[in-house]
Structure 1
Amino acid sequence: MTDIKLHGFWYSPFSMRVKWTLKLKNIPYEDIEEDRFNMSAQLLQYNPVHKKTPVLVHDGKPICESMIIVEYIDQIWPQNPLRPTNAYEKALAQFWVKYADDMVPAIASLVRCSNDIEKENAIEKIKEHLRVVEDQCFTEEKKFFGGDTINIVDIAFGSVVKFLVVLEDAFEVKILEYEKFPHFHSWYNNFKDAPVIKENLPDQDKMVTFLKFFREKILASS
């Protein structure tokens, strides 16, 4: 039987991507929860370059970086495919996956902001990204980025937006406003309510509590 282990953090948007992918494909795996502040020697051995999660270990071989792991899983287990087969559509999906990752620095800046000006600048940068997606990705009515089924772009954006929604609660601000981003807002509701995603979303209140603790730890060490 294939041996699959996932080293990750329960609250990490990057670990979420891999968990959702494994669940969408009905692949059994061992979930190994790492300690953000005291990572295991095994994890550091599996990812000696970046020393971070997630790491998927397949038959003893480690694969690092969340979207690389998602693509690897999609190649090895073809059931419920997440990537388009058409070359152009596949390239387009890769572009928007990259754009989802481009949002991460602005979101990280919001977590680390130490004053109102930094906070406002980070929020505006996030909204700039949301405007681009709102204007460019929802030119036609569709439930998901992949149409009627979840695809790799949904996985990429879904994890980022989940973390963003947690930040909204933690900072008591509204960023993904329905009035400004109606299509993006509707897409996220469809995504988070999909049975496999809904059953594997970290608890919102628990994430807010952890994020506040994590932020305090960051600011105290800066």
Structure 2
Amino acid sequence: MIDLSIPGKESERTFRHTHGRKRMANRGGDEVKLLGMWASPFVVRAQLALRLKGVNYEYVEEELANKSDLFLRSNPVHKTVPVLIHDGKPICESQVILQYIDEAFAGVGPSLLPADPYERAVARFWAAYVEDKLLPPWRKVFRVTTDEERAEWTRQTVAAVDTLEEGLRQCSEGKGFFGGDCVGYVDVLLGSMVPWVRATEKLSGDRLFDAGKAPLLAAWMERFSELDAAKAVFQDVDRVVEYAGAIQARLSAAAAPASTQ
């Protein structure tokens, strides 16, 4: 999870997501609150799921250097965002939150996971692949300080993208998303990373989903970015670039040898 913070533009800690039909989506008595931090793609996962399901929620921006009492009470184990609070009960960890939203609001909006047990298992498999095989080496590429390390993590990232390209081919069956015609669990999981993917492209010039090497994923990313839910919650890419640059500067400073007199 992201645990570095630079000053944000928000002047208020809390605002309420209430617009259009989504105001009417919750069942009677439901109170939904999401604790997050603007730069976290894991928070974006939860926001995407809530909007796709049509669930009205209150978003609370946390300052991770100055965590609120509510946040610390709600996630005392990991102390990471996001935290979903539903009728006073906290749910932690982004993948757990996605599945909870899908189940707790089963009668609201489209399902993120398929009804068929096998198809549901396949979706969870590819979600785990994204989480375990793609994201760790990709993040390492921008956190290491030597060319040798960067080359190795880049190799692992490219291999993971190649495999995921084939996974999209199989899951989509020629349609627009991992979930077929509809956005599904894997789409939300991976789609939450799009602003960071675009930011790292600006920083390094390298494309994670290059149209020449991964045409299905490249087209998928453009398609996902045009969703109303994505447009509503995606971070501003230039702001992510600034944030990522600050992280890189801190890592470089920490890795630099101490000067000698």
Identity across the alignment (%): 34
Of 104, 111, 118 in structure 1, the residue corresponding to residue 135 of structure 2 is 104
Within-5 A mapping of 1:51-66: 51-66=79-94
Q: Is the 8 A contact 1:44 1:52 kept in 2?
A: no
Letter in 2 for 1:3: E
Residue deviations 1:184-217 (CA, integer Å, cap 9, x gap): 1111111111122122211111111111112223
Q: Distance in 1 between matches of 2:36 and 2:209?
A: 27
Stretch moving more, 144-153 or 208-217: 208-217
Larger RCO of the pair (alpha carbons < 8 Å, separation 6+): 1
> Number of residue pairs matched?
222
Give the AA of the match of 2:250.
Answer: K
Matched, 1:72 2:100: yes
Which runs of 5 or more residues in structure 1 are unaligned?
none
Equivalent position of 1:4 in the other structure: 32
Structure 1 window deviating more from structure 2 (84-93 vs 33-42): it is 33-42
Structure 1 pair 123–114 and aligned structure 2 pair: CA distance change class (3 A): same
Could you say which residue in structure 2 is the equivalent of 1:138?
Answer: 169
Q: What residue number does 2:121 align with?
A: 91
- The structure that is helix-richer by fraction is 1
1:156-186 deviations in Å (ceiling 9; x for gaps): 1112344223212122322321110001111
Contact kept, 8 Å, 1:134 with 1:181, in 2: the verdict is yes
CA distance in structure 2 between the partners assigned to 1:54 and 1:185 by the alignment: 27
Cα displacement (A) at 1:132: 0.3
| 1:158 aligned to which of 172, 175, 191 | 191
Cα deviation digits, residues 95-114 of structure 1 (max 9, x gap): 11111111221133123111
Match of 2:65 in 1: 37
Distance 1:136 1:26, change over 3 A: closer
Deviates more, 1:71-80 or 1:108-117: 108-117
State TM-score, norm by structure 2: 0.80
- Give the TM-score normalised by the residue count of structure 1: 0.93
Q: 1:38 to 1:122 in 2, by over 3 A?
A: farther
> Which secondary structure state, in structure 2, belongs to the residue aligned with residue 137 of structure 1?
helix
Mean CA deviation greater in 174-183 or 87-96: 174-183
Counterpart of 1:114 in structure 2 is 145
**2:253 — aligned with what?**
220
Higher alpha-carbon Rg = 2
SS at match of 2:233: coil
Q: Which SS does the other structure have where 1:174 is aligned? A: coil
Separation (CA, whole Å) in 1 of partners of 2:185 and 2:250: 33
- Retained in 1: the 8 A contact 2:48–2:192? no
The change in CA–CA distance for 1:38 and 1:219 in structure 2 (over 3 A counts) is farther
Partners of 1:5 and 1:58 within 8 A in 2: yes
Report whether the alignment pairs 1:207 with 2:237.
no
